[in-house]
Chain A
């Protein structure tokens, strides 16, 4: 019987320091056959293992079209992530996955997308953004609305110029510095009937406080509950729908049914959002 908890051997092949609390890791699965068989979809995640420091779930943040390696953007938070920050290029880590119910493929390619991100929420959306840059023909119109507390915290800054060729980038910060030329204030302010088409599909990734206001706004702007997607975060241990840590009352698991849910799916789940 296959052991679903056995990590696959992988190696850190590149580390980029993005900010004092965020690093971008490029990871390569060691065994060629396993590497070729490892395929993930937009919206999925994996569990990273560092022996001695445990395991934790992370979203993929590079395009699934890039086959040799994948990337993960990590915020330094607790014991495992702090250990990750000490690791050097070449270190072995373990991964298991991909997990989660990826984003509806047809929808993502056939509809205009509104990607709303707050704080570190941009990283899982980067799979779509990168993909759209590599294969613009596969996608319709994509708009990104990204808000942070200040400009120092913006993720993937050096990519924006490249992305802007195919994607509409809208940035906002709460507290601007002198050089800031974009919007100021919460991300909700950028969502108006002039900017958003009501038949778009929206994907929201960010802190839970952001969701309530953004969902309300998008519903006002005429998006249907089925077309508003929210990424939920919960503590996870197994990743395969058994341990109950990520359960939503009523019967959904973030690890197997999520982490992306349409607003229609979880609207009536108490404490869902």
Chain B
């Protein structure tokens, strides 16, 4: 598929009442925005600062409404949405979320109305590419995937489909040159790799060690890392009293906030920064791998990018592996 054909595809989608979201540079930051025309569309190879998770798990979402103590229905309009240009590690994150929220009607309804179009931003070498196709794509949830190819400075895309919806969409658009990849479930047959498995033990062993004391001093509990992280999904549920009704809503929460573990009487179970940041790593590298056989960190680097204290998750993990 050429650049021009991709633009035509975007125009086609918009014409067919899809709301298309993709990322681009806005005031020096890479952010996701709605695309209103295909004409000059260009796929941005960098990843957006905020991930695509908000489309499936909104920062604040109405769960139900009550009026005179009776539940009244919530209308969630079915907007057909396209998320365009999701990097493969963000697709990994969405695949994980779709497991965590497998039985969540709010999440699943949004997912049903959504088409995920992924991209591999870096032109892959042939051998890498083989691996990529077999090992990664078949375990990712996506509808269409754009594999960037570069020939004599001429950019083009190799197209994969990952669902029937994706195939149908391309067929209707009139593009036939795609390969279909059968979704083989989120977890490869062999499950976690050796590093991921040993990390479960190593994190546990590291509890109380020097690295956590250092992080205790460094981290300021701002929670920015958990907001940008594509796999962070903690939430809280609360009621809001409006003029004539009550709204029960679900909002993003962060385990870095002190109230996260507070029970009445002001007792907090995660009562130091050390406890909280350890709990964050425990969730990513222990709890999620144990529960879903998938790593809880997709290595996108966002948390490191936003951390005001200069905390680098890759360095920390490397250190935990070396020291334990």
Residues of chain A having any CB pair with chain B under 8 Å: 1-7, 51-55, 77-78, 81, 92, 233-235, 237-238, 240, 242-245, 247, 249-251, 270-271
Contacts and interface: CB of A to CB of B under 8 A. Distances in A.
A235 B71 contact: no
A48 to B, nearest CB: 13
Interface residues of B, number: 44
B140 interface: no
25 contacts: A51-B69, A51-B248, A52-B241, A53-B239, A54-B237, A77-B265, A92-B69, A234-B261, A235-B260, A235-B262, A235-B263, A237-B236, A237-B237, A242-B104, A242-B233, A243-B234, A243-B235, A244-B233, A245-B236, A247-B287, A249-B278, A249-B279, A250-B287, A251-B286, A270-B208
A3 B105 contact: yes
Contact of B239 (A4, A52, A78): A52
B305 interface: no
A237 B255 CA distance: 13
B238 interface: yes
Nearest to A78: B264
A234 B269 contact: yes
- B contact face: mostly helix, strand, loop, or mixed: mixed
10 closest Cβ pairs, A-B complex? A51-B66, A77-B264, A249-B282, A1-B105, A244-B234, A78-B264, A51-B246, A52-B246, A251-B290, A54-B239
B291 A270 contact: no
Nearest to B235: A243
Given A5-B63, A77-B264, A244 B255 contact: yes
Contacts of B63: 5
B239 A2 contact: no
Interface of B: 63-64, 66, 69, 71, 100-101, 103-105, 108-109, 204, 207-208, 233-239, 241, 246, 248, 253, 255, 260-265, 269-270, 275, 278-279, 282-283, 286-287, 290-291
A1 B262 contact: no
Given A2-B105, A54-B237, A251-B291, A245 B260 contact: yes
A242 B102 CA distance: 11
A241 B283 CA distance: 12
Given A2-B105, A245-B260, 19 more contacts: A51-B66, A52-B239, A54-B237, A54-B248, A77-B264, A235-B262, A237-B237, A238-B237, A242-B235, A243-B236, A243-B237, A245-B236, A245-B253, A249-B278, A249-B286, A249-B287, A270-B207, A270-B208, A271-B275
A140 B260 CA distance: 41
Contacts of B204: 250
Contacts of A1: 103, 105, 108-109
Contacts of A238: 235, 237
Nearest to A253: B287
Contact of A245 (B100, B234, B238, B291): B234
A182 to B, nearest CB: 27
Contact of A55 (B66, B237, B260): B237
A55 B282 CA distance: 27
B282 A250 contact: yes
Contacts of A234: 261, 263, 269
A106 B286 CA distance: 32
A148 B275 CA distance: 31
A251 B238 contact: no
A129 to B, nearest CB: 25
B114 to A, nearest CB: 16
A216 to B, nearest CB: 21
B317 to A, nearest CB: 16
Contacts of B234: 243-245
A77 B255 CA distance: 23
B101 A242 contact: yes
A220 B137 CA distance: 56
Given A51-B248, A52-B239, A52-B241, A245 B286 contact: no
Contacts of A250: 204, 282, 286-287
Contacts of A4: 103-104
Contacts of B282: 249-250
Find the residue from B100, B105, B255, B265 having the highest chain A CB count within 10 A.
B105
A9 to B, nearest CB: 8
Contacts of B236: 237, 243, 245
Contacts of A270: 207-208
A249 B269 CA distance: 11
A23 to B, nearest CB: 16
B287 A251 contact: yes
